[in-house]
């Protein structure tokens, strides 16, 4: 009996599920801790556990049926979804990237939050680019290119290239990519390959983010392939895209930006599969983020303008999801600027103290010493763990290299001990943002341990962390809480309130997108943050008119309170904790290509393709060529994505304007090809 192995790697857990390929019935599931320092350990543990061939090596790995063994030869496909790329973008972490902008002015950085996203990453402006009709805007400056690229090589680990109107003519992007590949060993992302849409700054942002997470996705995929080989799984590995469809492992390594909503898309697909509801709000709470989607008539629509993730608007076609940096492992920190509460959560994920103590028991003594000190420090109860153990990246600054060496030598360091200067603190922050170190501090997971909602790890560490956080002071100079329990309830209350507020905002946006920016009124905040209304003349209550389908490992812990605040019913389906892995196992391959037809002059129609531009004397000739061209492009992408017997559908859109006397004026034409293949075709090939 053919079976599919679905995997979902998140910031906290790696889940696995075995499904019958023909009936899509769930045979067995497993859950294992994600091992950030070496992803292959957690992935291998989840796979071995679900196959029933080996017991896990560390705590909190479990299976729905540990006695049943699955024959390795019955697994005909492995599919992988992940939130790691999403988490990286939400937390603004990842490798250093050199962005090459061809034919753009420097004020381009002020558009689409491009400059904000780039931060301290280097940007290179090169003369060149094309006009909207595909003709040359300016010759490519090949003279200064070698010198400028050489300057960046020691500072970055990847390059992103965006040229002016590259979607109408990618010539200059191709030339610069060829040069970089020839003279460096670094990965290169080109904007024309990621989107056929206009909008240079947004396209540049998408390309930059793609380059930023290439190393992360490559590491994840290689770790999975390594474990498959060791276990004896000789089948193909597919990766879930942000729209829920599949691509091959090699395709995903080259275009990782398409996986930025991989985990959420798989989770939503899994939730729709598991829950017997046609219309609902789907909420997936993980360790780093909460993802919200609207299920209508049994399906979730794609975002028409591209995925929004971590506040960045991209051109990636993905399931329409609202993602926020709120999760069970969100960093809790004092927020003196807020008028609602003295704390805040996220967007960075931290290792919960209760889990840190399982790996490094010495942190208990350190926290007890900090608690005995008469004066509370902002660094109390915070630790830093290195995520790099081998060769330190050469593109780090001197202070970052020194700090990385200190962290590697100690294995775990109290933040108070190593952040002894502003330079050291800055180096730590940079290592955290680049994904080379991890913060451990008090989180909602710790709070759940203190109040006995969730009690698997080291409760003593959670209590010590709560006591250290409780004696921090708010903007009025008062301590935040009087006890560990009070602090923990404050933390959990914030998570519930902020989550309910995000669901309310997503719902209002779905009803009326223009009203979204104005929805956070004091009345709504008062209602959802459980602020006492007894003394108010006008009291407020929010009601969600559809049920919530909650999935994720901590859905049972947090979502009853959230649903109560929104005055709606709650559905937590069976297997909700592994919905992402289930969604990963039920996808299909789907690739799409588009091209544009413009009229450069009377009786001259120009087809703009990723292969260049081609002119025709009639619109019919241009359309016929465009259909064949886009079919070939889409099918090549689908085959590269792993399709064996793909099917293609062509869509044609010709825009004209009536000018009188029965005549019309041609404006623009768009030809789109969609190529797809069902997962069962893959398992029977």
User: Tell me: the pLDDT tens digits for 497-521?
Assistant: 899 988 988 888 887 755 445 455 5
Residue 366 pLDDT greater than 80, yes or no: yes
pLDDT of residue 62: 56
SS (H, E, C) 386-407: ECCCCCCCCCCCHHHHHHHHHH
330 or 56: which carries more pLDDT confidence?
A: 330
Matching residue, tokens 């002894």: 420
pLDDT of residue 526: 63
Alpha-carbon distances of 568 from 281, 284, 563, 576, rounded to whole Å: 11, 17, 5, 19
pLDDT of residue 198: 75
Among residues 305, 246, 211, 242, which one has the least CA distance to residue 83? 242
Helix axes 484-511, 555-565, angle to 10 degrees: 60
User: Tell me: the pLDDT tens digits for 345-364?
Assistant: 988 889 999 999 998 999 99
The set of long-range contacts for 627-632, using a CB threshold of 8 Å and a minimum separation of 24, is 627/652, 627/671, 627/673, 629/595, 629/671, 630/593, 630/594, 630/595, 630/671, 630/672, 630/673, 631/673
Residue 201 pLDDT greater than 80, yes or no: yes
Q: Minimum mean pLDDT among 258-272, 307-321, 456-470: which range?
A: 307-321
pLDDT of residue 232: 93
The two counts, helices (H) then strands (E), for the chain are: 23, 29
Which CATH number describes the domain made up of 96-208? 3.40.50
Alpha-carbon distances of 543 from 283, 485, 503, 531, 549, rounded to whole Å: 16, 29, 11, 16, 16
CATH 3.40.50 residue ranges in the chain?
96-208
Q: Minimum mean pLDDT among 39-48, 168-177, 250-259, 535-544: which range?
A: 535-544
pLDDT of residue 104: 94
**CA atoms of 55 and 37, how far apart (whole Å):** 21
pLDDT of residue 63: 57
For residue 518, how far is the Cα from the chain centroid? 26
Q: Rank 55-64, 80-89, 264-273, 477-486 by mean pLDDT and report only the highest.
A: 477-486
Question: With pLDDT > 70 as the criterion, what percentage of the chain qualifies?
Answer: 91
pLDDT of residue 525: 65
pLDDT of residue 448: 95
Phi first, then psi, for residue 263 (nearest 5°) are: -60, -50
User: Tell me: the pLDDT tens digits for 383-405?
Assistant: 999 988 777 887 788 898 999 88
pLDDT of residue 488: 95
pLDDT of residue 538: 63
- In three-state secondary structure terms, 679 is helix
Segment holding 460, helix H or strand E:
helix 459-470
Q: Model confidence at 680, in pLDDT bands (50, 70, 90)?
A: low
DSSP 446: H
537 or 557: which carries more pLDDT confidence?
A: 557
**CA atoms of 33 and 106, how far apart (whole Å):** 45
Average pLDDT over residues 278-303: 84
pLDDT of residue 75: 92
Q: Model confidence at 58, in pLDDT bands (50, 70, 90)?
A: very low
CA atoms 174, 180, 181, 186: torsion sign: negative
User: Tell me: the pLDDT tens digits for 485-497?
Assistant: 999 999 999 999 8
**CA atoms of 44 and 630, how far apart (whole Å):** 40
Residue 284 pLDDT greater than 80, yes or no: yes
Average pLDDT over residues 422-436: 88
Residue 203 pLDDT greater than 60, yes or no: yes
DSSP 479: B
641 or 416: which carries more pLDDT confidence?
A: 416
pLDDT of residue 571: 95
Contact 471, 376 (CB under 8 A): yes
Q: DSSP assignment of 281-315, as one string? A: EEEEE-SS-EEEEEEBTTB-PBPTT--EETTEE--
**CA atoms of 590 and 593, how far apart (whole Å):** 10
223 or 63: which carries more pLDDT confidence?
A: 223
* Tokens of residue 631, six digits: 């079919």
Residue 339 pLDDT greater than 80, yes or no: no
Segment holding 609, helix H or strand E:
strand 604-609
Q: Minimum mean pLDDT among 120-124, 174-178, 428-432, 585-589: which range?
A: 585-589
User: Tell me: the pLDDT tens digits for 620-644?
Assistant: 999 999 999 999 999 988 888 778 8
Matching residue, tokens 């943050």: 529
Residue 127 pLDDT greater than 80, yes or no: yes
* Tokens of residue 122, six digits: 């280097």
To 5 degrees, how large is the angle CA 184–CA 186–CA 192?
A: 110
């Amino acid at each position: 009996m053919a079976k599919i192995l679905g995997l979902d790697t998140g910031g906290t857990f790696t889940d696995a599920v075995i499904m019958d390929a023909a009936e899509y019935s769930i045979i067995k599931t497993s859950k294992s801790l994600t091992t950030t320092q070496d992803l292959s350990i957690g992935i291998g543990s989840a796979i071995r556990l679900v196959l029933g061939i080996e017991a896990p090596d560390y705590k909190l790995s479990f299976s729905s049926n540990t006695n049943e063994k699955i024959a390795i030869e019955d697994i005909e496909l492995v599919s992988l979804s992940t939130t790691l790329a999403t988490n990286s973008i939400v937390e603004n972490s990842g490798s250093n990237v050199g962005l090459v902008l061809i034919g753009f002015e420097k004020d381009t950085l002020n558009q689409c939050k491009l400059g904000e996203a780039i931060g301290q990453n280097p940007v290179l402006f090169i003369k060149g680019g094309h006009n909207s009709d595909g003709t040359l805007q300016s010759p490519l400056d090949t003279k200064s290119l070698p010198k400028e690229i050489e300057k960046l090589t020691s500072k970055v680990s990847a390059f992103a290239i965006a040229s002016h109107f590259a979607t109408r003519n990618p010539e200059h992007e191709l030339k610069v990519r060829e040069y970089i590949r020839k003279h460096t060993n670094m990965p290169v992302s080109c904007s024309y390959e990621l989107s056929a849409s206009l909008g240079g700054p947004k396209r540049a942002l998408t390309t930059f983010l793609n380059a930023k997470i290439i190393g992360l996705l490559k590491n994840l995929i290689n770790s999975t392939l390594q474990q498959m080989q060791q276990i004896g799984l000789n089948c193909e590995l597919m990766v879930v895209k942000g729209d829920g469809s599949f691509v091959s492992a090699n395709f995903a390594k080259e275009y990782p930006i398409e996986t930025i909503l991989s985990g959420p898309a798989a989770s939503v697909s899994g939730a729709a599969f598991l829950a017997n509801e046609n219309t609902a709000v789907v909420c997936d709470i993980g360790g780093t983020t909460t993802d919200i989607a609207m299920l209508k008539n049994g399906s979730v629509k794609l975002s028409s303008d591209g995925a929004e993730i971590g506040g960045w608007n991209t051109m990636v076609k993905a399931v329409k999801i609202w993602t926020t940096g709120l999760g069970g492992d969100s960093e809790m920190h004092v927020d003196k600027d807020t008028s609602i509460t003295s704390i805040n959560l996220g967007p960075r994920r931290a290792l919960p103290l209760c889990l840190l103590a399982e790996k490094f028991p010495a942190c208990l003594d350190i926290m007890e010493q900090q608690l005995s000190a008469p004066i509370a420090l902002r660094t109390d109860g915070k630790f830093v763990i290195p995520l790099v153990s081998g060769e330190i990246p050469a593109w780090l600054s001197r202070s970052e290299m020194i700090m990385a060496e200190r962290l590697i030598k100690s294995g775990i360091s109290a933040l108070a001990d190593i952040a002894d200067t502003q330079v050291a603190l800055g180096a730590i922050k940079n290592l955290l943002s680049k994904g080379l170190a991890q913060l451990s501090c008090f989180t909602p997971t710790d709070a759940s341990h203190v109040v006995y909602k969730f009690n698997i790890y080291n409760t003593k560490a959670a209590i010590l962390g709560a006591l250290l956080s409780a004696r921090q002071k708010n903007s009025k100079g008062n301590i935040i809480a009087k006890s560990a329990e009070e602090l923990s309830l404050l933390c959990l209350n914030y998570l519930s309130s902020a989550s309910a507020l995000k669901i309310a905002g997503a719902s209002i946006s779905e009803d009326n997108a223009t009203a979204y920016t104005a929805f956070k009124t004091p009345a709504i905040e008062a209602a959802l943050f459980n602020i006492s209304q007894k003394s108010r003349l006008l009291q407020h209550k929010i009601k969600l008119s559809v049920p919530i389908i909650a999935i994720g490992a901590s859905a049972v812990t947090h979502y009853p309170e959230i649903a109560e605040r929104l005055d709606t019913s709650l559905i937590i389906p069976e297997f909700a904790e592994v919905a992402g892995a289930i969604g990963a196992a039920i996808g299909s391959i789907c690739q799409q290509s588009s091209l544009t037809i413009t009229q450069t002059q009377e009786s001259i129609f120009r087809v703009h393709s990723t292969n260049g531009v081609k002119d025709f004397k009639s619109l019919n000739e241009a359309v016929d060529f465009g259909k064949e061209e886009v079919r070939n492009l889409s099918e090549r992408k689908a085959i590269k994505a792993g399709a064996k017997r793909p099917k293609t559908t062509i869509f044609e859109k010709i825009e004209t304007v009536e000018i009188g006397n029965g005549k019309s004026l041609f404006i623009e034409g768009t030809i789109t090809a969609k190529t797809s293949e069902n997962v069962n075709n893959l398992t029977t090939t």
